[in-house]
Amino acid sequence: MSIAIAILGLGLLILIHEAGHFFASLAVGLRPRKFYIGFPPPLVKVKRRGIEYGIGTIPLGGFVSIPGMHRPVPHDAERRFERAVSEAPALAGPADRVQRALTGDDLGSALAEIDDFEHALSAQKLSPAAQAAAEKGMTELRDGLGPDAYWKAPTWKRFIAIAAGPVASRPSAKTISFVTRPVTSNALPTASSGGRPVPSSPNPRR
């Protein structure tokens, strides 16, 4: 029983931590893409104003997805498009142009190259896994190059979005610990001498 309560308390603490990131990001203009209670795959999900809200299959804590935590680099495109290119060599040229565009400072051209890759991708027949990886890659790259990407934000906005998680969870941790302490303490085994001296205590018959 005490283990179950501890797990539930930890899950609630993680959820509060992630909610802190989520609401702080919204407050400073960084638009999270997802906010889940529990972890995917989702049991239920709905999209509102560009944010996907869901309840995950794994009922422990939650998570928030903030776009563009780092500036996209060529390896990001290579990693996501690798399987698609191996199945459809015709995609090698468009994928390479995306990677080269990401090495420069003209982010607009990188977005244009991603659009060209998407057009070329639509003409190919790929396995579901390769298709999903390529589509996820395009979404991540567009988020990372978008105007609300985390890495583009001023330092104070990034600080608030990141610091809000620990700030929200610290007082909650104390509250949860205070509430669950009587239950977990009562569940702990207590030493009983049964008329015999306990090894860690002085011998009363000495």
Per cent of the chain over pLDDT 70 is 83
Ordered by start, the domain boundaries in the chain are 2-68+151-187, 74-145
Q: Is the pLDDT of residue 196 over 60?
A: no
What is the per-residue pLDDT across 10-42, written as a single tens digit (0 to 9) for each?
778 888 899 999 999 999 999 899 999 988 889
Residue 179 confidence (pLDDT):
60
Residue 192 confidence (pLDDT):
47
Query: Which 3 state secondary structure label does DSSP give 174?
Result: helix
Distances in Å between the Cα of 193 and the Cα atoms of 64, 110, 204 are 51, 74, 11
What is the per-residue pLDDT across 92-125, written as a single tens digit (0 to 9) for each?
999 999 999 999 888 889 999 999 999 999 999 9
**CA–CA separation, 79 and 96 (whole Å):** 12
| pTM (two decimals) | 0.73
Q: Is the pLDDT of residue 202 over 60?
A: no
Q: Which residues contact 108 (CB under 8 A, 6 or more apart)?
A: none
- Of 35-49, 79-93, 114-128, 175-189, the range with the lowest mean pLDDT is 175-189
Query: Exposed/middle/buried for 121, CB within 10 Å: 0-12, 13-18, 19+?
Result: buried
The band of 172, judged by pLDDT with boundaries at 50, 70 and 90, is low
Alpha helices in 64-149 (DSSP H): 74-87, 92-102, 107-122, 128-145
